[in-house]
Amino acid sequence: MSLVKALTVSLDNTLWFAGIVAEVAVIGLLVYRSAWRTLPVFCVYCAWVLLSDAGNYGVLRLLAARTTHGYLMTYLVETALDSALEFAVLVELAWSVLRPKRDSLPRSFLVVIGVVILAAGVAIWPFSGIHGLASLPPAWRNLVHVQQTASILRILFFLVLAGCSQLLSIGWRDRELQVATGLGFYSIVSLAVEMLDSHQVMGPQYGHLQQVVAVGYLCSLLYWMVSFAQKEAERREFSPQMRSALLAVAGAARTTRIAMTDSTPAKRWKR
């Protein structure tokens, strides 16, 4: 083993161990702050990531040494599960942001939020494929496609949430924006690395670029550690413009629901 390769392996192990320690610290702070009461899906996501990173590190390295196909398929399934949980986290964050006026909104509004975020992901999908991957196995192309779509969706969500922070009356001390910031930063780093590495996915520089992704993820974990170590700021009321918009949406939703109820066959028959 060459010195450069030995140093690369050593750095990989160091980053992996540091990530595990940081994930444990984040989960500990989530429990300490009773974050499961307001962000239960995010807590489940953090626990899943910890279990996945702790259990799959050796498994993935073993599969990579024996068969590339097995490694890619395992990594693809794991990435798909990660993306599904991250989608649920985004829905939860959007619903949590609406806490000041959530009681005045119909429960179906949560479904509407999920549909909107899912529609954004579907719209991103055709444009998220990296060029130069046609010669790679389908499993690898699908993996990169899923990763890019999820990364762009997380970045878009963070930008929308940060851009509407004044209307939503949230700041950097609010949990929703803190979680979205960590996800957004890691996604920006991951997407940038994937774009840089689009023409040399399995080349000699792949390991170094993946270390950059690991460092970006570690920075997000450290940011969450600092954020959840502090007490959450008291939630402020929405701006008048946002309150008016939400009341209008709630009124339209109730009107639609009543109209749909009145138009059922049973109602028409009774009349």
* pLDDT for the residue 33: 93
Determine the structural domain holding residue 196 and report its residue range.
Answer: 3-238
Counted domains in the chain: 1
Does residue 41 form part of some domain?
yes
pLDDT band at 1 (very low <50, low <70, confident <90, very high): very low
Question: pLDDT band at 229, cuts 50/70/90?
Answer: very high
The domain that holds 87 is classified in CATH as: 1.20.1070
Residue 74 lies in a domain: yes
Give the N- to C-terminal CA distance of the chain in Å, as an integer. 84
Residue 108 counted as domain residue: yes
pTM of the model: 0.81
Task: Provide mean pLDDT across the span 158-181.
Answer: 91
Q: What is the pLDDT of residues 99-142, one digit of tens each?
A: 887 777 777 888 989 999 999 999 998 887 665 556 666 767 77
Note whether residue 245 is domain-resident. no
Q: Is residue 254 part of a domain?
A: no
Helix H, strand E, coil C: the string for 200-242 is CCCCCCHHHHHHHHHHHHHHHHHHHHHHHHCCCCCCCCCCHHH
Whether 160 is in a domain gets the answer yes
Kindly state whether residue 81 falls inside one of the protein's structural domains: yes
Cα–Cα distance for residue pair 258/34, rounded to 1 Å: 38
Per the domain annotation, does 58 fall within a domain?
A: yes
